[in-house]
């Protein structure tokens, strides 16, 4: 038994498809299939159920794959320890980032990486929170940038990056848009547009709404913040946007159709953090990335009124 064969098994567990697993492992499908059969012969148990329609792991196969992930993560950490000893700020770093942060932070972060950490090559993956955490847990990514808190936070090491205020986005002509100052209590009995299930921002905005007696506009759920912006601008209702998204100029609302209002103190906020596996050899790199993000003028501006 060797680590290569365990990687093949984990790839099959992840993809449930021999072809995609082989592609992920950069080998031919016959090679992967043959090595898995050898692994089964060595262990004396069936690990994979093969049929023309689907690939499934047996109960023991799932157990072996789960244990194999831990071994492979440790093996990868050994490699990273060796690399970090020579230069902790060089090489590839797989970074997962949630969709309600990625489009608004990355335009500033990418050039900052080039300036501050020029030998580091970040490989960026945009994923919803649950997918980010699962990939971080199984070693598919090294670092995740997500909103906190979340269930199971104790399983990871983390450093806070910034607190971001929520901003009210309302169509021109809406009563709240005409006010010079608003409070959270002004949302009482309002119908608020929210993201679809799976986005942590939905849960955070919904929590704010429930606190003050606002209601979700259930007939519509957006797949992205940009859709929320457009729907609010079109007069479909009001919504809550993170400040960086609200002020993004990638898709400006013309003709004053969308009006933004900051809340009076205490403002509703979300916290964004960077996470990594406890004991990872990349911790010095992650902390350096955290310093770069916290030092961005656009991030520092989140504390200014």
Instruction: Encode pLDDT of 38-86 as tens digits.
Output: 999 999 999 998 876 678 899 999 999 989 988 888 887 777 767 666 6
pLDDT, position 85: 63
Please tell me the pTM assigned to this model: 0.73
**Domains, the chain:** 3-83 (1.10.10.10), 92-305 (3.40.190.290)
For residues 106-138, one letter each, b for 16 or more C-beta atoms within 10 angstroms of the residue's C-beta and e for the rest, the string is beebeebbeeebeebebeebebbbebbbebbbb
Q: How far is CA 253 from each of CA 7, 100, 232, 234, rounded to the nearest angstrom?
A: 48, 18, 10, 10
- Is cis: bond before 149, omega within 30 of 0? yes
Instruction: Encode pLDDT of 106-155 as tens digits.
Output: 999 999 999 999 999 899 999 999 999 989 988 889 999 999 888 888 88
Cβ atoms of 228 and 100 within 8 Å: the answer is: no
293, burial (CB in 10 Å: exposed 0-12, middle 13-18, buried 19+):
buried
Q: Residue 60 and residue 83: Cα distance in Å, rounded?
A: 35
For residues 189-225, one letter each, b for 16 or more C-beta atoms within 10 angstroms of the residue's C-beta and e for the rest, the string is ebbbbbbeeebbbbebbbebbeeeebebbeeebbeeb
Q: Residue 249 and residue 256: Cα distance in Å, rounded?
A: 14
Token pair belonging to 304:
């200014």
């Amino acid at each position: 038994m060797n680590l290569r064969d365990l990687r093949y098994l984990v790839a099959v567990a992840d993809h449930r498809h021999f072809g995609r697993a082989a592609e992920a492992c950069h080998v031919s499908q016959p090679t992967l299939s043959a090595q898995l059969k050898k692994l089964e012969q060595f262990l004396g148990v069936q690990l994979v159920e093969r049929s023309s329609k689907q690939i499934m792991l047996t109960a023991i196969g799932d157990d072996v794959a789960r244990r194999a992930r831990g071994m492979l993560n440790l093996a990868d950490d050994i490699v990273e320890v060796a690399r970090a000893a020579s230069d902790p700020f060089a090489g590839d770093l797989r970074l997962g980032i949630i969709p309600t942060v990625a489009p608004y932070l990355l335009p500033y972060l990418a050039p900052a990486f080039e300036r501050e950490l020029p030998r580091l090559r970040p490989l960026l993956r945009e994923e919803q929170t649950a997918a980010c955490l699962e990939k971080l847990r199984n070693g598919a990514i090294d670092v995740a940038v997500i909103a906190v808190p979340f269930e199971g936070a104790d399983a990871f090491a983390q450093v806070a990056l910034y607190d971001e205020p929520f901003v009210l986005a309302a169509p021109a002509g809406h009563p709240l848009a005409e006010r010079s100052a608003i409070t959270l209590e002004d949302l009482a009995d309002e119908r608020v547009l929210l993201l679809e299930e799976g986005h942590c921002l939905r849960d955070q905005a919904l929590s704010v709404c429930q606190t003050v007696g606002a209601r979700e506009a259930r007939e519509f759920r957006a797949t992205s913040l940009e859709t929320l912006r457009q729907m609010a601008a079109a007069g479909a209702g009001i919504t809550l946007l993170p400040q960086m998204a609200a002020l993004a100029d990638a898709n400006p609302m013309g003709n004053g159709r969308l009006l933004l209002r900051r809340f009076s103190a205490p403002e509703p906020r979300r916290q964004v953090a960077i996470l990594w596996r406890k004991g990872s050899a990349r911790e010095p790199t992650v902390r350096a990335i955290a310093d770069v993000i916290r030092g961005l003028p656009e991030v520092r501006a989140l504390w200014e009124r």
